[in-house]
């Protein structure tokens, strides 16, 4: 069966520090991968998605970047964190069977709660 | 731009009651609609996915319906239990731009 792992679960970082959040998927190949953020009082917002190694699409302009160095690894990064980067970050995957916009459900990790001081 | 609204924002009912959660979306050009459950501080658990060509999906005590033309979906929970307490999220897929989420309905089932 497929599983998705995110770490760390909780992170407290000072303003201006770098960030690296990692997500890995097991039990499937060539998944579509996503990073979402859930800010306090707001809905989940798609940040990045990837259809393959090295392919990243950004949904909103921001202080963050994403990379996909391996098929089942998705990394969210920042060079200098801002207070507004605080939130709950969720990684998700879906099967790429049938194409990018295939009607496959998205499956989510347990998330990383990021607090910026 | 797609917008998803969930009503009510919060709901508290006694155990055993049947209840309905509502979701509406502004752009009917969707590929599918997915209902999720989120427990406090946790990730999302997928409950049901309805393809754009379908009218409803059922899983156990849960039934989700979709009226794409009117931009509405409902999640029906039968015989509610305290373990059903969670935030329920509705999300629509427009294809390449991933999922657009509502802000959720915070559900409390009173024992």
CA dihedral (B15, B92, B8, A60) positive or negative? positive
If pLDDT is split at 50, 70 and 90, which confidence band does A42 have? confident
Q: How many beta-carbon pairs under 8 angstroms link A with B?
A: 61
Contact in structure between B57 and B47 (CB atoms under 8 Å): no
Distance between CA A19 and CA B50 in Å, rounded? 36
- Tell me whether A40 touches chain B (CB under 8 Å): no
DSSP H or E stretch at residue B109 = strand B105-110
Contacts of B17 (CB under 8 A, 6+ apart): B80
Whether the predicted pLDDT of B95 surpasses 80: no
Distance between CA B49 and CA B36 in Å, rounded? 9
pLDDT in tens, A70-106: 999 999 999 999 999 999 999 999 888 766 555 678 8
Contact in structure between B108 and B39 (CB atoms under 8 Å): no
CB contact under 8 A, A43 and B95: no
pLDDT of residue B97: 59
pLDDT in tens, B13-69: 999 999 999 999 999 989 899 999 999 888 899 999 999 999 999 999 999 999 999
Q: How far is A101 from chain B (nearest CA, A)?
A: 4
DSSP H or E stretch at residue A117 = none
Query: In this complex, which of A42, A49, A106 lies closest to B34 when CB atoms are compared?
Result: A106
Query: In this complex, which of A45, A105, A108 lies closest to B49 when CB atoms are compared?
Result: A105
CB contact under 8 A, B98 and A110: no
């Amino acid at each position: 069966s497929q599983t998705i792992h995110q770490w760390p679960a909780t992170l407290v970082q000072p303003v201006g520090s770098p960030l690296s959040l990692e997500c890995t998927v097991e039990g499937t190949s060539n998944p579509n991968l996503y990073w979402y953020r859930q800010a306090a009082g707001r809905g989940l917002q798609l940040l990045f998605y990837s259809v393959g190694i090295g392919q990243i699409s950004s949904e909103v302009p921001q202080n963050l970047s994403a990379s996909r160095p391996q098929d089942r690894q998705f990394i969210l990064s920042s060079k200098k964190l801002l207070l507004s980067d605080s939130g709950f970050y969720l990684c998700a995957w879906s099967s790429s069977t049938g194409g990018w916009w295939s009607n496959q459900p998205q499956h989510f990790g347990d998330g990383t709660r990021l607090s910026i001081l | 731009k797609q917008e998803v609204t969930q009503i009510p924002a919060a709901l508290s009912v006694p155990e055993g009651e049947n209840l309905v959660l509502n979701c509406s979306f502004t752009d009917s050009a969707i590929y599918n609609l997915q209902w999720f459950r989120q427990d406090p501080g946790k990730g999302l658990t997928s409950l049901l996915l309805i393809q754009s060509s379908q009218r409803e999906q059922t899983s156990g005590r849960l039934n989700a319906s979709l009226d794409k033309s009117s931009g509405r979906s409902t999640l029906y929970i039968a015989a509610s239990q305290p373990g059903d307490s969670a935030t329920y999220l509705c999300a629509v897929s427009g294809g390449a731009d991933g999922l657009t989420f509502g802000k959720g309905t915070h559900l409390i089932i009173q024992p």
